[in-house]
Amino acid sequence: MRLGLLTSAAFLTGLGAWAQQVPLGSSNDHFYAPGYSNVDSGLFTPLESLSAIAEKEFTTFGHPFFPQYSVRLKQSRFCDETVRAYTGYIDIQARHLFFYFFESRSDPDKDDVIFWTNGGPGCSSSLGLFMELGPCRVPDSNGTVPHPQSWNTNANVFFVDQPVGVGFSYAEYGEEVDTSEDAAKDIAAFVSIFFENFSKFKGRRFHMAGESYGGRYIPLFASAIYDQNVALEASGLTPINLVSAMIGNGMTDIFSMVPSYWDMQCTGASVPPVVDIATCVSTKNLLARCHKRMKESCVDQYDKVDCTAVTDYCNNLLSTPYRATGLNPYDISKPCEDMDALCYTNTKYITQYLSKPDVRSSLGVDVSIQRNFSSCSRPVSLAFRATGDTYHPTTHHIAALLERNVKVLIYVGTYDWVCNWVGNERWTLDLEWSGQEEFVGQPLSVWESNGKRAGRTRSAKGLTYATIEGAGHMVPYDKPDESLTLVQKWIADQPL
């Protein structure tokens, strides 16, 4: 399903937004404006303050620039009683994306704003919230506990379940989004609607962040926001102050990542070799062939059938021996606890917590969602795979953002196998942009957290690459102190 990003200028003569309040659990028919026929009269005005948002009912608001979109929001008292928290839905006609928003523990009226998405494709950002960087965690069956190293220590943070079908997001008639390009349109519209309605966020520094498949999402999402800014400014609206993109253990370039599996399992890249010599030798002999065929079919001239065939073959060739070891693909230093739980028992506790009726009611989860919470959606993953979305690198988008002075942070836990540091370092060094020579010429240096070595880093002209030693795929989960230090320095424009 493809929807246009921008609407015609005819809707822009009235520049306000609109709002109304509706009871929780109401039919979706109540969540839409009756149309924008009254925009010209100037009757629709921005909400201005989050204090206008109620707890017992949704406040629904929109933006004349995006007539197919609206947002419903409520206060939600959970997770962190020290800050104001909100939950709601981004409504795009019959598609609805669930999200959380937490104000900063420090200075919400001045601190930066961070958007966060998990990857998959098809995994809920509730994992990022309740297991990694959110203000609380669900470590066992007893519910939430405070998380002192949350990223909202010095920033206001969004967690969005996207695309439709992920987490508490849903569609009414089977609609789906199966490409990152279409997902980017929805996120770009949402960000503008939110910032335009609440005046204190206008001009606020904004960072797009994500992990894993976020390596494909975030460059596209940030690019969509940057390009959308041009149209907003031309219409007299406030653009989004997009400062940076942050990608953790990202699958940004699958063609650099797949060959790097050999390095991770057959050399001492992170830990001593974990695959037997005979297998390492036989697969090594095929690496050059895999690289050549993937370049021809996927990069030089994209052919969906050939690209899928060769990438899947090479991926299976290298991943099958690793998975046979029983090691965690997200942390090569330990065994997988439970493959059905993404190798982490914590994910089961998060699922149990978010499947409780009282929790769902408190969050404002739509009553039409009868299924239990699921960390990841297989149908969404398969839909993205069917379109070939997973085989398109986003390195060119990153180069384009850098050329437009949008900073980019690539951080990688050294124990991750599936989106490892070897592949990520390779594509950052190969990235073609005006700062390439200076970036490549920078030696790796040690960076510290609380006076202790945290990893190594390289930086030039807005691009920073950093490792976090001893962390796996989910850096904030494994190394919360180092993760918070990294983010605090980044948003403060301090070198690592």
Q: What HEC string does the chain produce?
A: CCCCCCCCHHHHCCCCCCEEEEECCCCHHHHCCCCCCCHHHCCCCCCCCHHHCCCCEEEEECCCCCCCEEEEEEECCCCCCCCCEEEEEEEECCEEEEEEEECCCCCCCCCEEEEEECCCCCECCHHHHHHHHCCEEEEECCEEEECCCCHHHCEEEEEECCCCCCCCCEECCCCCCCCHHHHHHHHHHHHHHHHHHCHHHCCCEEEEEEECCHHHHHHHHHHHHHHHHHHHHHCCCCCCEEEEEEEECCCCCHHHHHHHHHHHHHCCCCCCCCCCHHHHHHHHHHHHHHHHHHHHHHHHCCCHHHHHHHHHHHHHHHHHHHHHCCEECCEEEEECCCHHHCCCCHHHHHHHHHCCHHHHHHHCCCCCCCCCCCCECHHHHHHHHHHCHHHCCCHHHHHHHHHCCCEEEEEEECCCCCCCHHHHHHHHHHCCCCCHHHHHCCCCEEEEECCEEEEEEEEECCEEEEEECCCCCCHHHHCHHHHHHHHHHHHCCCCC
Catalytic residues: 212, 416, 473
Do strands 407-413 and 69-75 pair parallel, antiparallel, or not at all (unpaired)? unpaired
Contact 375, 342 (CB under 8 A): yes
Contact 161, 128 (CB under 8 A): no
Token pair of 166, please? 């992920």
* The residue to which tokens 């598609």 are assigned: 95
- Tally of CB atoms within 10 A around 335: 10
Token pair of 450, please? 């609380």
